[in-house]
Each structure stands twice: as C-alpha cells, then as structure tokens.
Amino acid sequence: MGLFDGKVGVILGVANEYSIAWQIAKYLHAEGADLAFNHLPDKDERRRMERRVRRLVEPIGAKLIKPCDVSKDEDIQEFFTAVKDTYGKIDFMVHSIAFAPREDIQCPTLEASRNGFHIAMDISVYSLIATARAASALMESGGAILTMTYFGGERVVPGYNLMGVCKAALECAVRYLAYDLGPRNIRVNAISAGPMKTLAASAVGDFDQMLSLHRTIAPLGRNVAQEELGKAAAFLLSDLSSAVTGEVLHVDCGYNIMGAPGKSFKEFVDKLQAR
C-alpha cells in the first residue's frame, strides 16, 4: 500500500526528465498518487513542449496533460476547470515554476530591467498565489501545496541575482498563503533544494563551480540526489506532516547551516588556484 493511494495531485512545472517537478512526480506516482500535469503552450505546430511532457507522463498513466501559461489568468482557470472535470477534487499541488529573462538574470541585480523584474516576479512568485487560489478551491477536505525555492533567496549567491530576489518573495508568499489557507486545513510549504542540473539552472553562471562548492562545504560532503527531493516532497504533501505549514525545508545536505567553509574547503580552493 502506497503513501498516496487514492490521492490526486497536480504537478506544475515539468519541462523535461531533469526537472525537479518530474523527480517529485515519479516518487509520488510510485507511492500511488494519481497526477495531472501542465505543459507550456506550444508556439508552433511541432508541439515540442507537449510531446516532451507526454513522453514522460503518459507511461505513468496521467489522465490530464494540458497547456497552462501561469502568466495568464484565463489559462489557469481553464486548466483547473479541466482538473475539476477530470477528478472532481484534488489533495495536493506541486508548484515548481520560475522564470526570468536570461539577460536580466545574468546581469548584476543592479542592472536588471523593470520589465525583466515584472516578468520574473509574475511567473516565479505570483503564479504560486494564482494557482494556489485555483487549486485550493478543489481541496474540499483540506490538502497541501508545495513550491520550490533555493538558498539564494536567503543569502547572496553570486550568479543567482534577480532570481534570488524572487525566491525571497516566494518564501514570504508561502507564509502568507499558509495563514490564509490554514482555516481550511490546507497547508503550504516550500523545499529549498540544493543545486541540481536542470533547464533553469543553465541560466546561472558557472553552475558546475556552484555544485562543487556546495559539495565541498555541505556537512554531508555531497550534493542532494534527485530521489531525495521526491522523498522530502512526499513528507510535506502527506499526512506525515499534518502539523507543518508555512515552512521552508532545506534539502541540501546541510549546506545552509554553515557559517564558515567546512573541512574540505582548502582542497577546493587549491583546485581553483591550479586551474
């Protein structure tokens, strides 16, 4: 018997097999969850976005795979109407969506454009509020909402830039949504994941160096594995965490607790100097 037998959830943000949302979805499915998925609307007849997601989720029996641009209220409404028509009600939602124009995330935060800031905050932060509003309407007996953040929203991480500002706002939104939805027995939490190679991570400067630095400083001496995010998500979405809401759970091998470089930092510096 799986932890999510008889449970229905929505997964927002699967782009390809490396997406954090997909790693979470695989674990939830293995535990018995019935899952609905969105994909970005395709701009041409090749339907690359849809085909990429369908290739992953059809083998696990997804009943609903529908386009949804979270920057458009009408798309969100149409998507969750389809969810209601298909399932009637849901038990949880995973929000794993973030975006900023490449030129605005790769420049210093000081140089980010007004338009880039608006786009980044709309898609990376307001989309959680908008989709939580729609999803919570289908959680008749309570439920859980989970989003994804990163340590760059708490501390300055060179190269993360504007997205760090967005993650700080996202974490604050988690707390306020937890307050708003608490009376309806709907919990809202976030996972702060260690760095992972995803499509979004490709926009962050010198990502390989970031991975090496995390591995060197983290008390566990390694980076987080994909399946570990699935396990943490399952905890926060299940009744195992029934008294947990408004929290940011760090799943980063302990990197966030360090106030100074760890034991292996000298070796890391020596390698950089040897380049």
In the block, tokens 């195992």 appear at 240
Residue 160: active-site member: yes
CB 182, CB 240: distance < 8 Å: no
- How far is residue 66 CA from its own chain's centroid? 19
Task: Please indicate whether residue 176 is annotated as part of the active site.
Answer: no
Q: How many CB atoms lie within 10 A of CB 264?
A: 13
Distance (Å, whole) CA 167 – CA 124: 8
Which of 27, 36, 20 has its CA nearest to residue 2?
Answer: 27
Distance of CA 65 to the CA centre of its chain: 18
Q: Residue 63 and residue 57: Cα distance in Å, rounded?
A: 9
Distance CA 165, CA 193 (A): 16
Q: Which of 27, 87, 126, 160 is catalytic?
A: 160
- Active-site residue identified among 18, 27, 87, 150: 150
Please identify every residue annotated as catalytic. Answer: 150, 160
